């Protein structure tokens, strides 16, 4: 017990003061937590603070964030050629930055990362693992990790998941995400190993192959994208399968909009108890966000700073306004190829009132509403991809993943959708379905499966060889 307490103290102090965290210490804390849970069934509130952080007090949170921003900026000014130049151009002293004054530094874009990747790598840090964005929204970007990051991130995730009861030694995680997302796959596999769970990495295979894997009742957890989850649900229904055929209890999905209709269908068809809508992206790992029961997105305050910047880039989005998430991962969590004020282009709406939910101590926004490039500006206002996905996937036909293409003509949104999505509905009923959800849309059914209308991550198909029997 004394050694466990000492490890907890060392990790807590490293987090507060921004010093490198020994991955081995975190791995040992995971082992300690496993032993404690096995004996007592609960980790204790003092241990849980290691993952959620003691930052419920706004003043403590402000002080922690300001100190973390300065520490991160000073390191970037010294070791990152890209940010040394950026700070000089902005005329700022990294050692004097705060959450507020950081806004004078221009945001970093994906185009910056693609055009000058080597200038983001910190001098003296050896890159060992390459990971890439999926490329569904444009040319992929490559991000390098150090050995320190490759060991630390999954250890932190394992400790967090174990203490929150999200994963345990009895679990088996099936991973249906693109093999291009090396860091995410590596994190899932290592996380499972550390908590004593099993992992089954399949990638984005044809849905029936992944469904066959679920049918042996081994996997209890699923890591995938909403669009691929939709294809699994559709395949299961086509084959007449139901909850009794699976052992799944939890699915963690991200990278796309998860609609309530799909979440309900996944629970009803695959027997899932929880469908967790998460936020994470390759460029800003290990910063992430989790959803509460009210659908808010709560970012991880320990790992980085998350801003909501107005769509026109003029400054912070006001209460109730749309903006994009701009993320700064803190040192010591980001080591090799850090980014500062990275504009994710993920659109959210700020809250008018503080959240009143089980995660109320952590600031929140709306759920992700889609990418900034997918917004439709109509005479009636901005229509977000989430509004369209939720409305279309709630159609009686259950046409998920939603496929559509929109254009604005004379201020009105015209939406092309596969004709099969409207089966059983006449034009008036379809328009009324959308109007009931606040959408004034002119629908154009087209004879297609919809793949050319809207690309989703489930389209990143990885086929496998099949050997015919002799």
CB 166 within 8 Å of CB 250 = yes
Q: What is the pLDDT of residue 355?
A: 87
Q: What is the pLDDT of residue 20?
A: 87
Backbone dihedral angles phi then psi of residue 452, each to the nearest 5 degrees:
-80, -10
Backbone dihedral angles phi then psi of residue 4, each to the nearest 5 degrees:
-65, -45
Q: Please state the rounded mean pLDDT for residues 373-377.
A: 96
C-alpha span between 470 and 468 (Å, rounded): 6
- Higher per-residue confidence, 86 vs 450: 86
Domain end point (choices 277, 305, 322): 277
**Does pLDDT of 2 surpass 60?**
no
42 burial level (CB within 10 Å; 0-12, 13-18, 19+): exposed
- Higher per-residue confidence, 9 vs 309: 309
- Evaluate whether residue 383 is within a structural domain: yes
Q: What is the pLDDT of residue 76?
A: 97
**Does pLDDT of 365 surpass 60?**
yes
Tens-digit pLDDT profile for residues 268-325: 999 999 999 999 999 999 999 999 999 999 998 889 999 999 999 999 999 999 999 9
Q: What is the pLDDT of residue 467?
A: 47
Residue 393: its H or E element: helix 385-393
- Evaluate whether residue 190 is within a structural domain: yes
Q: Of the ranges 44-58, 62-76, 230-244, 404-418, which one carries the lowest mean pLDDT score?
A: 44-58
Q: Please state the rounded mean pLDDT for residues 319-343.
A: 97
Tens-digit pLDDT profile for residues 401-439: 999 999 999 999 999 999 999 998 888 899 999 999 999
C-alpha span between 280 and 160 (Å, rounded): 15
Read off the pTM.
0.92
For the chain, what is the mean pLDDT? 91
Residue 351 token pair: 């809250």
**Cα dihedral sign for 100, 118, 142, 154?**
negative
94 burial level (CB within 10 Å; 0-12, 13-18, 19+): buried
C-alpha span between 292 and 309 (Å, rounded): 22
**Does pLDDT of 1 surpass 60?**
no
Collapsing DSSP states into helix, strand and coil, what is residue 384? coil
Residue of 231, 161, 215, 214 whose CA lies nearest to 190 = 161
Q: What is the pLDDT of residue 54?
A: 52
**Does pLDDT of 45 surpass 90?**
no
Tens-digit pLDDT profile for residues 149-188: 999 999 999 999 999 899 999 999 999 999 888 999 999 9
Backbone dihedral angles phi then psi of residue 130, each to the nearest 5 degrees:
-100, 140
Q: Of the ranges 35-49, 117-131, 262-276, 423-437, which one carries the lowest mean pLDDT score?
A: 35-49
Domain end point (choices 277, 309, 324): 277
Count of structural domains, the chain: 2
Considering the chain, what percentage of its residues have pLDDT values greater than 70?
91
Q: Please state the rounded mean pLDDT for residues 354-365.
A: 90
Phi-psi region of 235 (alpha: psi -120 to 50; beta: other; left: phi over 0): alpha
C-alpha span between 269 and 194 (Å, rounded): 31
Q: Please state the rounded mean pLDDT for residues 316-343.
A: 97
At residue 260 the predicted structure's pLDDT band, cuts being 50, 70 and 90, is very high
Q: What is the pLDDT of residue 449?
A: 87
- Evaluate whether residue 100 is within a structural domain: no
Q: Please give the residue range of the domain that contains residue 247.
A: 171-277
Q: What is the pLDDT of residue 470?
A: 44
- Evaluate whether residue 64 is within a structural domain: no
CB 88 within 8 Å of CB 104 = no
- Evaluate whether residue 93 is within a structural domain: no
DSSP 255-283: SSPPPHHHHHHHHHHH--SEEEE-B--GG
**Does pLDDT of 347 surpass 90?**
yes
- Evaluate whether residue 408 is within a structural domain: yes
Residue 111 token pair: 């185009």
CA atoms within 13 A on the CB side of 365: 26
**Does pLDDT of 375 surpass 60?**
yes
* Domain containing residue 211: CATH number: 3.40.50.980
- Higher per-residue confidence, 450 vs 244: 244
Domain end point (choices 277, 299, 314): 277
Q: What is the pLDDT of residue 40?
A: 76
C-alpha span between 41 and 302 (Å, rounded): 26
Who's near 297: CB < 8 A, 6+ residues apart?
279, 289, 290, 291, 348, 364, 365, 366, 367, 368
- Evaluate whether residue 216 is within a structural domain: yes
Q: Please state the rounded mean pLDDT for residues 2-25.
A: 70
């Amino acid at each position: 017990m004394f050694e466990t307490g000492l490890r907890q103290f060392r990790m807590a102090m490293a987090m507060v003061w921004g010093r490198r965290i020994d991955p081995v210490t975190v791995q040992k804390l995971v082992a300690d937590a496993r032993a404690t849970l096995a004996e007592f069934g609960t980790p204790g509130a003092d241990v849980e603070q290691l993952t959620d952080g003691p930052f419920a007090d706004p003043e403590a949170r402000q002080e922690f964030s300001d100190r973390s921003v300065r520490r991160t900026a000073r390191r970037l000014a010294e070791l990152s050629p890209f940010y040394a130049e950026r700070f000089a151009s902005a005329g700022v002293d990294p050692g004097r930055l705060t959450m507020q004054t950081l806004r004078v530094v221009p945001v970093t874009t994906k185009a910056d990362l693609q055009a000058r990747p080597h200038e983001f790598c910190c001098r003296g840090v050896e890159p060992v693992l390459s990971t890439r964005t999926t490329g569904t929204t444009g040319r992929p970007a490559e991000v390098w990790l150090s050995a320190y990051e490759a060991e630390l991130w999954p250890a932190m995730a394992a400790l967090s998941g174990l203490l929150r009861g999200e994963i345990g030694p009895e679990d088996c995680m099936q991973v249906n995400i693109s093999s291009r997302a090396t860091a995410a796959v590596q994190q899932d596999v290592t996380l499972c190993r550390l908590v004593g769970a099993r992992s089954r990495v399949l990638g984005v295979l044809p849905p029936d192959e992944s469904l066959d894997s679920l049918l042996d009742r081994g996997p209890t957890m699923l890591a995938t994208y909403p669009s691929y989850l939709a294809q699994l649900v559709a395949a299961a229904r086509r084959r007449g399968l139901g909850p009794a055929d699976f052992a799944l209890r939890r699915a963690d999905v991200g990278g796309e909009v998860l609609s309530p209709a799909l979440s309900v269908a996944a629970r009803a068809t695959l027997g899932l108890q929880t469908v967790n809508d998460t936020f994470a992206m390759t460029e800003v790992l290990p910063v992430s966000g989790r959803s509460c029961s009210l659908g808010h997105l709560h970012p991880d305050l320990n790992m980085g700073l998350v801003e909501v910047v107005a769509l026109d880039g003029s400054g912070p989005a006001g209460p109730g306004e749309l903006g994009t998430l701009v993320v700064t991962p803190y040192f010591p969590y980001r080591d090799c190829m850090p980014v500062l004020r990275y504009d994710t282009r993920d659109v959210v709406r700020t809250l008018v009132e503080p959240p009143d939910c089980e995660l109320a101590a952590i600031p929140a926004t709306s759920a992700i509403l889609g990418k900034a490039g997918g917004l439709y500006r109509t005479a009636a206002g901005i229509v977000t991809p989430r509004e369209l996905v939720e409305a279309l996937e709630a159609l009686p036909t259950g046409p998920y993943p939603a496929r559509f293409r929109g254009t604005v003509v004379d201020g009105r949104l015209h939406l092309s959708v596969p004709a099969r999505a409207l089966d059983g509905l006449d034009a008036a009923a379809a328009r009324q379905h959308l109007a009931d959800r606040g959408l004034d849309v002119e629908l154009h059914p087209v004879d297609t499966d919809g793949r050319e209308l809207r690309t989703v991550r489930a389209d990143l198909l990885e086929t496998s060889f099949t050997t015919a029997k002799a």
